[in-house]
Every structure is written in C-alpha cells, then in structure tokens.
C-alpha cells in the first residue's frame, strides 16, 4: 500500500527512475492479447494499425503488436537515426522486412 501511495504522490520521481533504468540493457515485456483492438470503433472507423505513444519512447525500444491480418505481427521500434541508417543499409536485414 505504501508503494502505491508514494507513486501517486511522486509520479515524476517514478518516471525519471524508470527512464534512467531504460537507458541500460533492459528487456521490458508487456502485452494484452485479449484486447482485440482491431474490432474497436470509436466513431472514426476500425483501426488499421496499432502504435505506442511517444511518452515512453527510448532508443532501442522494440514493440510487437498483433497485426490486423490473422497470424501477422506489427513491429514498432524507436532507434537513433545512425542505427536506423545502418539497418537500412543491411541487405540481409531488409530481406526479412515488408513495408506494406
């Protein structure tokens, strides 16, 4: 209980602590496979993609989402521009990437 009360009082402190930990080699796994986002319609039509927001982005972040087509996976990553340029120049990597 005291941890949750402290978190409510010190959200900025907690966020900076999490951000600092994300600067090192960290693997964070989170998912909600039972939340079928593609069947939701908030009045704008059904979603065509799922993306994470910029609030928790850091270089090296890799997020996997269930794709809109059965059995597909959407990948979202946050990378420094020099890392991205190296990936785009890697022909072996590009053989496994689709841009559709």
Catalytic residues: 41
Cβ atoms of 94 and 88 closer than 8 Å: yes
End-to-end, the C-alpha distance of the chain in Å comes to: 47
Rounded Cα distance between 39 and 33, Å, is 13
Q: Which of 73, 77, 46, 45 is nearest to 59 (CA)?
A: 77
Coil vs helix vs strand at 24: coil
Residues in the chain: 100
């Amino acid at each position: 209980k005291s941890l949750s009360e402290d978190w409510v009082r010190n959200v900025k402190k907690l966020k900076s602590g999490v951000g600092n930990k994300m600067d090192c080699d960290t693997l964070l796994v989170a998912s909600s496979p039972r939340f079928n986002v593609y069947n939701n319609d908030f009045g704008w039509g059904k979603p065509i993609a799922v993306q994470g927001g910029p609030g928790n982005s850091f270089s090296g972040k890799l997020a996997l989402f269930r794709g809109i087509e059965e059995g597909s996976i959407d990948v979202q990553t946050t990378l420094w521009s020099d890392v991205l340029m190296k990936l785009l120049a890697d022909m072996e990597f590009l053989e496994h990437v689709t841009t559709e």
